[in-house]
Amino acid sequence: RPPYGGAGGEPPETDMSMRLSRSIVGEAEAEAVRRVICEDGYLGIGKEVQQFEADVAAYLGVPASWVISVNTGTAALHLAVEAVLGHGSGAEVLVPSLTFVASFQAISGAGAVPVACDARLDTATIDLADAEKRLTPRTKAIMPVHYASNPVNLDGVYAFAEKHGLRVIEDAAHAFGCLYKGRKIGSFGDVACFSFDGIKNITSGEGGCAVFFNATEAGYAADARLLSVEGDTRSRFAGTRTWDPDVKRIGWRFHMSNIMAAIGRVQLSRLDGEFIPARRALGDIYRKRLEGLAGLRLLQTDPQDFVVPHIVCVRVLDGRKDELKAALTAAGIPVAVHYKPNHLLSL
């Protein structure tokens, strides 16, 4: 929504602008931050983070101890890989090349090896037939990416994993609030990782969380986000500190702050009644107006009442991507190439 100015609140031509994406935050989020700063006074990880994890857990229908909040979605993926495979495992993880570089960096950062797989043209999600060709004795996990909020063929992914003895680490950065066959993403499975950055389905400013379905792995991640100081999460949630700390393994400075959690709690309260209907309505507009246009293809998705669209992407055919981008830019409409496939990046 552009800033309005001029008489009568009418938007002058010079003030009109269009954004590719923006955060939807306001007075309620600002008041939550004010409360943490002025009333609580403790800005690090504490009771607000504990309550945010409890809120997310209640929304998903899982125990609060299974939800481990962190400072980015990338950190969630990193800790998930470590918790599942061990730090510095050298294990191979199958992952679609069409994903944000964060997926690859998280795998590498945890000391595992990302193995780039093809994405399906119809859904932009991992091509399991191609992934099967890339299996080796070192393959220990698969990381499906719910691209454009579309958790497509999860049954197929889990069947593939079971067949080959793999763990599943879902990169669900786009998919908070989405359903698969009527169940919320993050309410079932192996490990699911969410992002709460500024333009996701909910935001905490920055931030993310991993949902584990294994108490040992959740406990590993809870400590590892606080430099692996044993029991430090429990102490901080109780409003105390660990005065006789021990550290037995590598850890990271990945924890979420109370300020971020306060924003996230307000955003979560707005999700079902405000954000989900608005995102679905906007997604419907794009689909209705772009469906069937020559030279474009929309991605196939699960039923629309299951998807909460973080973004709407189109595939441009016939090598005309740059031509289309130039034409839209000239018309004042911002567009972007969403990702460059990771196998084309220098690293």
Catalytically annotated residues: 200
- Phi and psi at residue 10, in whole multiples of 5°? -75, 140
Q: Is 318 exposed, middle or buried (0-12, 13-18, 19+ CB in 10 A)?
A: exposed
H-helix segments, 3-113: 27-35, 47-60, 73-85, 101-109
Q: Is 270 exposed, middle or buried (0-12, 13-18, 19+ CB in 10 A)?
A: middle
Beta carbons of 184 and 204 less than 8 angstroms apart: no
Residue in this structure with the two tokens 């590498």, named with its chain if needed: 108
Beta carbons of 232 and 19 less than 8 angstroms apart: no
Q: Is 332 exposed, middle or buried (0-12, 13-18, 19+ CB in 10 A)?
A: exposed
In the chain, what's the furthest Cα-to-Cα distance? 70
CB neighbourhood size of 326 (10 A): 11
Q: Which amino acid is at 335?
A: V
